[in-house]
Amino acid sequence: MTKVVNYISEAFEELKSNVTWPEWPEVQRLTIVVAVFSVLFALATWGVDEIFAKALAGFFNWIKA
């Protein structure tokens, strides 16, 4: 158990002293970029899914006829 506590305390010390944290405006800007790309990717995935669903429905209707 001592090893785990030691590891956690060393990890926190590492985060405080050796990590370069970005400035707040940069964090805000990058958060917006990630949010925009996430929405765009979700819309693209939805669009491809709709195209494949319609293509498969058309294919099965063609086979059934």
What tens digit of pLDDT does each residue of 28-65 get? Answer: 999 999 999 999 999 999 999 999 999 999 999 999 87
pLDDT at 52: 98
Q: Is the pLDDT of residue 1 over 90?
A: no
CA 33 – CA 37 distance, rounded (Å): 6
Residues 6+ apart with CB under 8 A from 30: 22
pLDDT, mean of residues 1-30: 93
At residue 22, the pLDDT reads 93
Question: pLDDT class for 27, splitting at 50, 70, 90?
Answer: very high
Query: Half-sphere exposure of 15 toward its Cβ, with a 13 Å CA cutoff?
Result: 6
